[in-house]
């Protein structure tokens, strides 16, 4: 499964559109937005038919944003609120029925990020808030 991950689009329509175009050309199966979409008009750009999982960022207007995402065509948008636990089938290992567990959180509390990383429950922790690209394995 290919997952496109972004965060902190902050109503920058050009940036959000570039991310969507990158994800579409990469044939991702799912998009995860780690928060700070900010307004419903930016969220609507993500109504592409590719399933979107989004969590709340510290700049998001929760109720209007949630109803916009939950109203995507074909039910392809899921707004999880403060955080999400995604459990996905591991297609990379065909001989196993294993799952890949992903924590998604905006990242406003470094203590919570550290707890998610250290608890051993997740294969991946996706976060935003820092406005930097960070990949740690």
Q: Can you give the CATH number for the domain in which 82 is found?
A: 3.60.21.10
Contacts with 92 (C-beta within 8 Å, 6 or more apart), sequence order: none
**What pairs with residue 101 in β-bridges?**
87
In a domain, 136, yes or no: no
In a domain, 133, yes or no: no
In a domain, 49, yes or no: yes
In a domain, 132, yes or no: no
Say what the pTM is: 0.91
pLDDT tens sequence across 13-40: 999 999 999 999 999 999 999 999 999 9
Question: Which of 7-11, 28-32, 63-67 shows the lowest mean pLDDT across its residues?
Answer: 63-67
Contacts with 28 (C-beta within 8 Å, 6 or more apart), sequence order: 2, 3, 4, 50
In a domain, 134, yes or no: no
Inter-residue contact 55 to 85 (CB < 8 Å): no
């Amino acid at each position: 499964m290919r997952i496109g991950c972004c965060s902190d689009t902050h109503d920058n329509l050009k940036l959000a559109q570039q991310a969507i175009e990158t994800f579409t050309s990469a044939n991702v199966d799912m998009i995860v937005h780690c928060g700070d979409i900010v307004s419903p008009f930016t969220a609507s750009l993500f109504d592409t038919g590719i399933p979107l999982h989004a969590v709340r960022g510290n700049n998001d207007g929760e109720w209007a944003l949630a109803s916009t995402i939950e109203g995507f065509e074909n039910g392809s948008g899921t707004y999880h609120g403060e955080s999400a636990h995604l459990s996905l089938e591991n297609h990379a290992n065909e001989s196993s029925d294993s799952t890949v567990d992903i924590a998604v959180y905006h990242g406003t509390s470094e203590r919570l990020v550290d707890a998610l990383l250290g608890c051993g429950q997740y294969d991946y922790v996706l976060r935003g808030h820092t406005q930097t690209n960070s990949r740690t394995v």
